[in-house]
Amino acid sequence: LAITTQITSPITGQKPGTSGLRKQTTVFMQPHYLENYVQAIFDGIGGVQGKTLVLGGDGRFFNDTASATILRMAAANGAKHVIVGRNALLSTPAASHLIRKNGADGGLILSASHNPGGEDGDFGLKFNSANGGPAAESITDAIYEASKTISQYLISDQPAPALDTDGTYMLDGMVVEVIDPVTDYAALMETLFDFNAIRSLFASGFRIKFDAMHAATGPYAREIFVNRLGATGDSVINDTPLPDFGGGHPDPNPIWASELVAIMSAPDAPDFGAASDGDGDRNMIMGRGLYVSPSDSLALLAAQMHLAPAYKDGLKGIARSMPTSAAADRVAVAKGVCSFETPTGWKFFGNLLDSDMVSICGEESAGTGSNHVREKDGLWAVLLWLNILAVSGKSVTALMQDHWATYGRDYYTRHDYENIETERANAVFNGLRDRLADLPGQTFGGLKVERADEFNYDDPVDQSHSAQQGLRVFFNDGARAVLRLSGTGTVGATLRLYLEQPEPNLQRQAEDPQAALARVIAAAGEVTQIAALTGRDAPDVIS
């Protein structure tokens, strides 16, 4: 065996954020940067001697080089077996499934998700545990600690095998198994949904458009929608994964998925539109001329998921991240099941899913998923929508209107202020945090503050405590503003302002959300002082 022990020293800032370590690609390409972090992962999880791992990524620039390095390091560290998607491509939910299906000890996913890719874009690496889910905070903390004391890493002198052909290869005594990235995932989807009903829906002339945004879901979507469900070939667009995602942001929201929005707003729009992000764990849902907010989508799916075979026995419970709207909570109340409010990031749903306490989880950032894997899953959400559309025979718009009539509507929007100077963003955030205790009773833009706090979370399963997970201001009439600093950006700081207002009155449920939320938006602007403290007069992205 030919193994090099490379002397190295700690590199500052290798702290995993909301979803793994994300940096500019050029940072990841610096000498030892990737290697240090990979060794820190291995050390942080207690080594990989004799272990089986899953490896793959969203296909962005540096994906191929990085996966070869990781394979050589896994071999040198004594791993037994690495299962890797052909050309190192795996969507995040597919990787989660492969970890579970193969009883692997964990997985490394190369992705910066919705961040742009390319040499001048971003790169990322996340570690998932044996349950298939993002590593818990205790593990990401241990990885970060290991990165601060690292003195050497191990790497094989042998080249990694080419990953373009399925098969089994040896690397320094370690088995490298190259597999088709789609087959196992597509088979899992067939066990969950009524493919016959969806096939009949398509055969009846129902038209869809799925935008893979030149990212990981392209091959999955073509296989599932076109090959297995019989949708027409033009139902899937931008389905060739490109290293720079064709120059776009692979972020499925109305701004970055504007191509799909235009298609869905045209007079001859298809019946259903959807898009996914870089690594395939997010979903955007559209009907003809209607953007379904992710919080509404979560509530609708929770209310109707019993129409899909895998969920016919009904809901166990519902979990949502704190900034997600309360729409899903009312479904939980109506169905008589528990609801949970977790911090932002899918890792916080892991224990609830492992303990079978919830059947569906969701985030306002276009993430929805169930206990079938331990990640949010974009195509899963699209298939669940299609299953519900097929069985109910209703349109997206009719389903949403019926839902709001039954449960009430939550007007919801998120305003992102991106790439703000860190000091200014901190001034906004810390300023509001310092004033929280004084806010109750005060009035802003005509709305009175009832209470305000910083969200802390105690995990109901393992009692772990997660502090400082976002600032909440509750106004009268159920209106709410939440402020967070993003944990996935790579340049400057991003402030996220989440705004919502319930509207139980059927007569007032058809407004444009920005108009319906005007008072809450104004009140939040006043209470946070964003414009004055950042010099920005409008958000960069509204979703």
Hey, which residues between 467 and 486 contact ligand VG1 (CB under 6 A)? Answer: 486
Q: Which of 279, 329, 500, 503 binds Co ion (CB under 5 A)?
A: 279
Beta carbon nearer to ligand VG1, 111 or 387 = 111
3-state secondary structure of 126: strand
Beta carbon nearer to Co ion, 105 or 281 = 281
Residue whose tokens read 């025979």: 393
Where would I find the beta strands (DSSP E) of 25-163? 52-57, 81-89, 106-110, 122-128, 152-156
CA 83 to chain CA centroid, nearest Å: 23
CA 298 to chain CA centroid, nearest Å: 13
Taking the complex as a whole, the smallest distance from the CB of residue 144 to ligand VG1 amounts, in Å, to 16
CA 427 to chain CA centroid, nearest Å: 28
Nearest CA to 277 among 347, 365, 194?
A: 365
For ligand VG1, what does the binding mask look like between residues 302 and 321, x meaning CB under 6 A?
-------------------x
Question: Strands of 367-370's sheet, edge to edge?
Answer: 338-342, 317-321, 360-363, 367-370
Using rule CB under 6 A, residue 270 touches ligand VG1: no
Cβ count within 10 A of residue 13: 11
Q: Which of 43, 64, 194, 281 binds ligand VG1 (CB under 6 A)?
A: 281
Instruction: Tell me how far apart the 2 most distant CA atoms of the chain are, in Å.
Output: 73
Taking the complex as a whole, the smallest distance from the CB of residue 156 to ligand VG1 amounts, in Å, to 29
Tokens of 132: 């298939």
3-state secondary structure of 490: coil
Distance CA 527, CA 318 (A): 31
Cβ count within 10 A of residue 271: 17
Q: Which of 14, 18, 52, 283 binds ligand VG1 (CB under 6 A)?
A: 18
Using rule CB under 6 A, residue 344 touches ligand VG1: yes
Structure letter (DSSP) for residue 276: -
Question: Residue 145, class by beta-carbon neighbours within 10 Å (0-12 exposed, 13-18 middle, 19+ buried)?
Answer: middle
Residue whose tokens read 């042998």: 158
Where would I find the beta strands (DSSP E) of 157-262? 167-171, 174-179, 208-211, 236-237
Nearest CA to 293 among 210, 218, 213, 403?
A: 403
204 is catalytic: no
Using rule CB under 6 A, residue 282 touches ligand VG1: yes
Beta carbon nearer to Co ion, 254 or 431 = 254
Residue whose tokens read 């991240």: 321
Using rule CB under 6 A, residue 466 touches ligand VG1: no
Taking the complex as a whole, the smallest distance from the CB of residue 265 to ligand VG1 amounts, in Å, to 25
User: Segment contacting Co ion (CB under 5 A): 79-87, 278-286, 489-497, 511-519?
Assistant: 278-286
Residue whose tokens read 């839902």: 403
Using rule CB under 5 A, residue 377 touches Co ion: no
Catalytic, out of 113, 129, 321, 325: 113
Q: Which of 91, 113, 351, 501 binds Co ion (CB under 5 A)?
A: 113
Hey, which residues between 41 and 100 contact ligand VG1 (CB under 6 A)? Answer: none
Taking the complex as a whole, the smallest distance from the CB of residue 111 to ligand VG1 amounts, in Å, to 7
Nearest CA to 194 among 393, 391, 399?
A: 391
For ligand VG1, what does the binding mask look like between residues 345 and 384, x meaning CB under 6 A?
xx----------------x-x-x-----------------
Site for ligand VG1 (CB under 6 A): how many residues?
18
Beta carbon nearer to ligand VG1, 133 or 367 = 367
Closest residue to Co ion, based on beta-carbon distance: 113
Structure letter (DSSP) for residue 135: P
Taking the complex as a whole, the smallest distance from the CB of residue 347 to ligand VG1 amounts, in Å, to 9
Taking the complex as a whole, the smallest distance from the CB of residue 394 to ligand VG1 amounts, in Å, to 29
Using rule CB under 6 A, residue 277 touches ligand VG1: yes
Binding residues for Co ion, rule: CB under 5 A, are 113, 277, 279, 281
Residues that bind ligand VG1 (CB under 6 A): 18-19, 113-114, 277, 281-282, 321, 344-346, 363, 365, 367, 486-488, 496
Query: Which active-site residues does the annotation give?
Result: 113
